[in-house]
Amino acid sequence: MPEVCVIGGTRFFGKLLVRRLLDEGHRVTVVNRGRTPDSFGEVVRRLRADVDAPGELAAAVAGERFDAVVHQVCYSPRAAVEAAEAFGERAGKFVLTSSMEVYNADTFRWRIPAPPMSAFAREEELDPAAYAYDTELPWDDSAWLGANYGEGKRQAEAALTRHARVPVTLARVAHVLAAEDDFTGRFSFHVDRIRQGRPVVAHAAPGRTSLALADDVAGFLAGAAVREVTGAVNVASPDRVDVYDVCAAVERATGRTATVIEKADAAGDPDLSPFSCPADFGMATDRAASFGDHFTPAATWLTTLARKAAATQEGD
């Protein structure tokens, strides 16, 4: 029975990941700060550590051995190096939850010009082994870290790839949607506005982007923990959507009509859709499909998700 350590795991699709691992018969240890209650009961072990506090993770896992570690909350190269050193060779493999934002050309502030990226990027277009990282940047400043999320993830990938003494999988995850516990508020943004008759702003001729269903992401991470897949893998529904597709799903779910206003200068508008892109920006999923991971097309789940989200809001 594999022993899997999940760093994070108390909110959003992290909870689904822990549940999936348990359902598949794995023994699970959760490492977090202990500030957010969970519903796992006594079926999981809990270790306490703030992964951003130097030395805490190493102290918490000293002497522990795991078949895999899934790091859900690694946002900087400093945290990646800490994790690699904390576990050393006492983990069969590392799975890092990364982000589609690593491909975002607008966030390459330490490498200008940005490397060329396809509109729907493939994994080989960003090689973490060749990407520079700097642990001395102000990663402990939460405001700075938030403003440099994409760069933090790129550098975390690079640092873990170089420092880990075990195989590494980098799950580059698209915009994740779920009917419940979506702390990002990206989907509820549309449900709220359309139900209230408020406009949704979009860029002029908005591009398409990649979405991922929370259950699919949890399933991929759980599988990656016990399979031999390594390197970067794009995790997303195979079809791409634009803001009109999202609004149409909410329209079908609520019976309300969406008002979408395209603006040439939409950046910074408080009503700008989180899923509106000035040009196509997403990921190709061919690599995942090549070893058997076929994610659910967004066209088959967007409306169902909108109905669940609308029903949840009506019950509040």
- Span 44-101, pLDDT tens digits: 999 999 988 899 999 999 999 999 999 999 999 999 999 999 999 999 999 999 999 9
Residue 162 has, within 13 A of its CA and on its CB side, a CA count of 19
pLDDT digits (tens, 9 = 90+) for 7-49: 987 778 889 999 999 999 999 999 988 777 778 888 999 999 9
- The DSSP symbol for 51 reads T
Domains in the chain (CATH in brackets) are 3-175+213-235 (3.40.50.720), 183-209+239-281+297-315 (3.90.25)
Strands 68-71 and 3-7: what pairing? parallel
Quick one: 314 exposed, middle or buried, by C-beta within 10 A (0-12, 13-18, 19+)?
exposed
- CB-count exposure of residue 54 (10 Å: 0-12, 13-18, 19+): exposed
Look at residue 64 in the predicted model and tell me its pLDDT.
Answer: 95
Q: Which residues pair with 207 in a beta bridge?
A: 277
pLDDT value of residue 167: 97
Comparing 111-125, 260-274, 302-316, which segment has the lowest mean pLDDT? 302-316
How many H-runs (helices) and E-runs (strands) does the chain carry?
Answer: 10, 13
Contact 174, 282 (CB under 8 A): yes
Percent of the chain with pLDDT over 70: 98
- In this structure, are residues 40 and 18 in contact, taking their beta carbons and an 8 Å threshold? yes
In this predicted model, what pLDDT tens digit does every residue of 270-279 receive, in sequence order? 999 999 999 9
Which pLDDT band holds residue 164 (cuts at 50, 70, 90)? Answer: very high
Please determine, for residue 313, whether its predicted confidence score (pLDDT) is greater than 70: no
Q: How far apart are the first and last CA of the chain?
A: 40
User: Given phi > 0 = left and psi -120 to 50 = alpha, else beta, which region is 221?
Assistant: alpha
pLDDT class for 2, splitting at 50, 70, 90?
confident
Taking the model in full, what pTM does it have? 0.95
- What span, in angstroms and rounded, lies between the C-alpha atoms of 79 and 75? 7
pLDDT tens digits for range 109-161: 777 778 889 999 999 999 999 999 999 999 999 999 999 999 999 999 999 99
* CA separation for the pair 101, 156 (Å, rounded): 13
Average confidence score pLDDT of the chain: 93
Model confidence band, residue 314 (pLDDT cutoffs 50, 70, 90): low
pLDDT of residue 81: 97
Token output for 276: 């509106």
